[in-house]
Amino acid sequence: MDPIKTKIQTRSKETRQEIWGQLLSYAAIILIVAVVCSIFMFVASKGLATFTKDHASLRDFLFTTDWSPTTMGKDGRPLVGALPMIAGSFGVTVLAVIFATPFALGTALYMTQLAGKHGQKLLQSVTELLVGIPSVVYGFIGLNVVVPFVREHFGGSGYGILSGAFVLFVMVLPTITSLTVDSLRAVPSHYQAASLALGATEWQTMYKVTLRAALPGILTAIVFGMARAFGEALAVQMVIGNATLMPHGLLTASSTLTSVLTMGIGNTVMGTVGNNALWSLALVLLLMSLLFNLVVKWIGRKGRI
Amino acid sequence: MDVGKYDLNDTEILQFDPQQTELALTTKDLQVYYGKNHAFYDGSLQFERYKITSLIGASGSGKSTFLRSLNRMNDGVARVTGQIWYRGLDVNSPQINVYQMRKQIGMVFQRPNPFSKSIRDNITFAVRENGIKEQKKLDEIVETSLKQAALWDEVKDDLNKSALSLSGGQQQRLCIARAIAMQPDILLMDEPASALDPISTLKVEETMMELKKNYTIIIVTHNMQQASRVSDYTAFFHLGHVIEYAQTKNIFTFPQKRATDDYVSGNFG
């Protein structure tokens, strides 16, 4: 028998490695998919129980403002009006991102287009540092600095959506900045060269060419910032006042989905209507983060050249 | 063949008589440094108006560096000393408004680099920034520059299409159209056809022949056939020196210097 012929027909170390590697990666994928699916299923089954088992109405949940799950309304259904929390969550998120985006854009433009090596390094480490600060520290600073500041300069008790937005502003700033930096760096330098060669100034080039080319990346950065703001619990909870009332302005005490969740989940008993209602809030959060992800995907597809 | 053994200071540079020839651009003692690295030595060249001048030479010979210095695209990248005379002004001096100067001395790059905008917006970008907003005037500019760049017939029905959907050759002609929309005096072209296929190259060359009626063109090229096809004058660059500058037909048929001879006959490079 020809030894080469035998060799190429039998399994060797390489084929076994190949199979083993494939098995490992498939196992990892299956595990991750299983974890994600079970999280969704778990939260969904708990969250939907409010409506199936406890007979709360979905319409009440989304559009009314009475949050008192353990008491029954006139129609015999539990009062699970989550609109105040939904409004609070959106309020702090949108405001924080509106505050943060201009600063993030400016910082990112400075870092990529204007700063020298040292400036870049310095700002890079500053933004990285901001990411690393634990949220309880942000909350604590918010409590001691932002709340009195808002009380003195804007009025009210100082607790409310505005304070939450200020704290979140600092927290989402590094997220938006660093993703914007990445997308600005990805703009091919020949775009800038072409623009400058046409006699455009640095500013015109930055504003009309570089920023435009990086726009999909910047939008993605903003959506990621929103996702971060929407999901933040502790720091917001410390400054927002935690009243499950419909916010009447930016300065009255209100609450977010996350703050009600963290405050309440330890004080309710598994399987009761109060507990299930909190799971419904968690389901809303989960669906929102799914939505943010889909938006990012969609922007990515739109922006591809 | 040992490339290093040519005498780099033994040069043959064509001199025009400014009384007889209209000059578009003149460089005098131009030197370029990248940090401590002296990349280009002592370039004193005159460029005749409404002619095409080729700059040829091997990679690293300094021809692109020289070209990019002419409209100050090397600002912030390299240090350029010496003078660049344009309309009686030294444009290599600090008080020059480089943005206005670049509108007169336009540039087309090696890789087609249209913006990710529509064909129309690519051309009107710089014109709008320059203050022209009137729609009729803009349409006129779009049409004439696309016609001059020999692209009009191919795109006239689809001006709102993304420029990035064009073929490489079309993109490059769009970049030429974009440059001439500003109605510059001089067009600098940095290997404009090296990323294109032969047919697109031919079209770009035809465009250049057409353009030289109204513009002075200085082109860097690796392609010696291209230099001999399109240009009136040719400068041969070697290791940061201009070795020989003459009428194109003389460079290719009777090179005066051994380095030029070896290069155009393919003995190196």
Q: What is the CATH number of the domain that holds A214?
A: 1.10.3720.10
Q: Which of A193, A198, A201 minimises the CB distance to B178?
A: A198
Q: Given pLDDT bands bounded at 50, 70 and 90, which one contains residue B20?
A: confident
Mean pLDDT of chain B: 89
Q: Is residue A64 part of a domain?
A: no
Q: Is residue B207 part of a domain?
A: no
Determine whether the interchain pair A212/B116 forms a contact, defined as Cβ–Cβ distance below 8 Å.
yes
Among residues B136, B161, B183, the one where a domain terminates is: B183
- Residues B6, B40, single domain; the answer is yes
Give the number of domains in chain A: 1
Instruction: Report pLDDT for A66.
Output: 87
- Residues B39, B70, single domain; the answer is yes
Query: Looking at the predicted complex, does its ipTM rise above 0.85?
Result: no
**How far is the CA of B228 from the CAs of B61, B222, B233, in angstroms?**
19, 11, 9
**Ranked by mean pLDDT, which of A100-104, A129-133, A238-242 comes out on top?**
A100-104
Determine whether the interchain pair B111/A209 forms a contact, defined as Cβ–Cβ distance below 8 Å.
no
Determine whether the interchain pair A212/B117 forms a contact, defined as Cβ–Cβ distance below 8 Å.
yes
pLDDT at A305 over 50: no
- Residues B229, B130, single domain; the answer is no
> Cα(first)–Cα(last) distance of chain A, in Å?
57
Contact (Cβ atoms closer than 8 angstroms) between residue B58 and residue B262? no
- Residues B69, B30, single domain; the answer is yes
- The alpha carbon of residue A197 is apart from the nearest alpha carbon of chain B, in Å, by 6
Residues of A in contact with B172 (CB under 8 A): none
Among residues B133, B168, B183, the one where a domain terminates is: B183
pLDDT digits (tens, 9 = 90+) for A126-171: 988 988 899 999 999 999 999 999 999 998 888 999 999 999 999 9
Instruction: Report pLDDT for B122.
Output: 92
- Residues B77, B4, single domain; the answer is yes
B266: left (phi over 0), alpha (psi -120 to 50) or beta: left
Q: Is residue A117 part of a domain?
A: yes
Please tell me the pTM assigned to this model. 0.74
Average pLDDT over residues A103-132: 90
- The alpha carbon of residue B176 is apart from the nearest alpha carbon of chain A, in Å, by 11
Determine whether the interchain pair B99/A200 forms a contact, defined as Cβ–Cβ distance below 8 Å.
yes
Instruction: Report pLDDT for A304.
Output: 53
Instruction: Report pLDDT for B149.
Output: 85
pLDDT at A226 over 80: yes
Instruction: Report pLDDT for A166.
Output: 94
Q: What is the dihedral of CA B118, B124, B115, B151, to 10 degrees?
A: 70
- The alpha carbon of residue B51 is apart from the nearest alpha carbon of chain A, in Å, by 21
Most B CBs within 10 Å, among A198, A204, A207, to test the B interface: A198
Give the number of domains in chain B: 2
Residues of A in contact with B109 (CB under 8 A): 190, 193-194, 197
- The alpha carbon of residue A287 is apart from the nearest alpha carbon of chain B, in Å, by 34
| A295 SS3 class | helix
- Residues B261, B166, single domain; the answer is no
- What distance in Å separates the CA atoms of residue B84 and residue B99, rounded to the nearest whole number? 16
- Residues B102, B232, single domain; the answer is yes
Residue-range definition of the domain harbouring residue A273: 83-303
- Residues B121, B151, single domain; the answer is yes
Residue-range definition of the domain harbouring residue B143: 110-183
Instruction: Report pLDDT for A279.
Output: 92
pLDDT digits (tens, 9 = 90+) for A266-284: 888 888 888 889 999 999 9
